[in-house]
Structure 1
Amino acid sequence: MSNATVHPTAIVGSLARLGKGVKIGPYCIVGDSVVLHDDVELVSHVSIDGHTEIGAGTRIFPFASIGHQPQDLKYHGEASRLVIGKRCVIRESVTINPGTENGGMLTKIGNDCLIMASAHVAHDAILGNNVIMANYVGIAGHCQIGDNVIFGGTCVIHQFTRIGAHAFIGAQSMVDGDVIPYGMAVGNRASLTGLNLVGLKRRKFDREAIHRLRAAYRLIFASEGTLRERVEDAGALFKGDALVQDVVAFIAAASDRPILMPRNGQTAE
């Protein structure tokens, strides 16, 4: 167990692998197949099981349930995995499930994510780096979440949905379609309400790049022609622009969900 600190009331499986500086607080339970890398801290009353690996420096707060059996009737005990990245903060009563045979056998969360109290990440979901989930956010199975996505409180994301990098999802939204990179979605059911301009500015994106992205957004979500035609036009017109090409590639990629669109009559960004 290296130099890990384990509270006397904690129960740690004899085969669990604990890195240097790991702290396991009162009444935690850690299963045999769990790997806790250096400086992971379980504050208290944390339950971790299954084939779960938690990256260095991650802190998990009381009553979180990590790596237990997925909430999927098609799961039949397969040895699927959950991998959580470095320096994440997982707050009280969060639940995160491992993958399933029907979804690639893996749930994965990137580095530096903040998952606030009572949020849920379901089986086979893939989250990027620097994702922020406010309280009571629910990410359903098989979702793909890009880097730097922010979710307001009590959002619900439909299974198989993709959320592009740097997107913002407003509080209490129910999202049942793919949200483009740099986009902003709000509502129940959610619609695309523009670009996440505040987030882009805070992250120091170039002003001219933002202007080009806004122009491409207006073109892609204009009323003339088909979406496919407009996406192709934007890709050709902004051929050398990385942000626009991110959006073009995202829309062009195959998906089980439709692309989230602005509501009728909603002004383009």
Structure 2
Amino acid sequence: MTLIHPAALVAEGAVLGAGVEIGPWCHIGPNVVLEDGVKLMSHVVIDGHTRLGTGTILYPFASVGLPPQDLKYRGEPTRCEIGAGTQVREHCTIHRGTATGAGITRVGEKCLLMAVVHVAHDCTLGNGVIAANNVVMGGHVTIEDGAVIGGSAALHQFVRIGRGAMVGGVSGVEADVIPFGMVMGNRARLSGLNIVGLRRRGLDPAAIRGLRAAFRLLFRHDGLFAARVAETRMRYGADPIVAEILSFIEAPSKRGLIRRDSRAVETEDAA
């Protein structure tokens, strides 16, 4: 049964699934789709071509799908999507995409965006991402599955955060973070591997030791970085997580790569 509080405003054209609950003082635009079981607690604003997945919960004063903070935006019908089971806490803002970018802002399934998180235009968040209080993302940021972003961290435009990575609180991240890497500081430096995250994913001690050996070769040995990448692939490339890290390093990047004791490795150096 769909429940709409009398004080809520739901525009004609909005599509509401079964069991949707819309609390007082919510405002739903005409191009919004709320799938089954979505719950908007109160004072939530959803506009634009926006879709919320099954069982998503939005807490008071969250806003989703509003125009991007981009002076080039001219009202194009860009989109915003949030996956099933995601929680969006108080005062979060998630803006729709831009015509000059991907055209869509995506948040995956079963994510947790804590209070006052900002997801800018054209960002892509994978499944199971956790962003703690006051995290801010510039436009076009990519965060892969299972990454954790500590409170008050700031992610520069176009930065990529790899799968299972950990960004420490109050970190300024201006370049890419490898899968399962851990960065911290202002500006952020690569401090090691996210061992806690790896253990939570069921990696046994032997696998973690092998990953640590690959990490040391990549980031703590001397010599050209490109040569170390090649040697790591030769010695440890059969490990699927090592292979994932190497693929991430070699993928196109607009921000370069964070590595230990260095601000960034230029994309050409990592190729």
> Could you state the TM-score of these two structures normalised by the residue count of structure 2?
0.95
- Asked whether the equivalents of residues 209 and 243 of structure 1 are also in contact (C-alpha less than 8 Å), the reply is no
Distance 1:218 1:39 in 2: 47
Distance 1:101 1:206 in 2: 45
Letter aligned with residue 69 of structure 2: Q
Distance 1:238 1:26 in 2: 56
> 2:164 matched to which residue of 1?
166
> 1:244 matched to which residue of 2?
242
Distance 2:78 2:246 in 1: 33
Match of 1:181 among 167, 172, 179: 179
The Cα shift of 1:145 comes to: 0.4
The Cα shift of 1:202 comes to: 2.0
Letter aligned with residue 26 of structure 1: P
Distance 2:200 2:177 in 1: 20
The Cα shift of 1:236 comes to: 1.4
Distance 2:83 2:260 in 1: 34
> 2:89 matched to which residue of 1?
91
Distance 1:129 1:106 in 2: 16
> 2:254 matched to which residue of 1?
256
The Cα shift of 1:222 comes to: 2.7
- Residue 198 (str. 1) matches residue 200 (str. 2): no
Letter aligned with residue 117 of structure 1: A
The Cα shift of 1:229 comes to: 1.2
Letter aligned with residue 155 of structure 2: I
> 1:76 matched to which residue of 2?
74
- Asked whether the equivalents of residues 220 and 260 of structure 2 are also in contact (C-alpha less than 8 Å), the reply is no
> 2:210 matched to which residue of 1?
212
- Asked whether the equivalents of residues 87 and 113 of structure 2 are also in contact (C-alpha less than 8 Å), the reply is yes
The Cα shift of 1:218 comes to: 0.4
User: Which runs of structure 2 are paired with 1:51-70 in the superposition (5 Å)?
Assistant: 51-70=49-68
Distance 2:227 2:19 in 1: 56
Q: Structure 1 residue runs of 4+, over 3 Å off? A: none
Please report the RMSD computed on the Cα atoms of aligned residues, expressed in angstroms.
Answer: 0.9
> 1:152 matched to which residue of 2?
150
1:102 counterpart SS class: coil
> 1:11 matched to which residue of 2?
9
Letter aligned with residue 23 of structure 2: G
1:236 counterpart SS class: helix
Deviates more, 1:199-208 or 1:20-29: 199-208
- Asked whether the equivalents of residues 155 and 173 of structure 1 are also in contact (C-alpha less than 8 Å), the reply is yes
Distance 1:42 1:218 in 2: 47
What is the number of equivalent residue pairs in this alignment?
262
Question: 5+ residue gaps in structure 1?
Answer: 265-269
Letter aligned with residue 68 of structure 2: P
Distance 1:34 1:27 in 2: 16
> 1:133 matched to which residue of 2?
131
Question: Structure 1, residues 158-177: CA drift from partner, whole Å, max 9, x if none?
Answer: 00000000000001000001
- Asked whether the equivalents of residues 212 and 244 of structure 1 are also in contact (C-alpha less than 8 Å), the reply is no
Distance 1:7 1:190 in 2: 45
The Cα shift of 1:4 comes to: 1.4
1:67 counterpart SS class: strand
> 1:267 matched to which residue of 2?
none
- Residue 231 (str. 1) matches residue 229 (str. 2): yes
- Asked whether the equivalents of residues 128 and 145 of structure 2 are also in contact (C-alpha less than 8 Å), the reply is yes
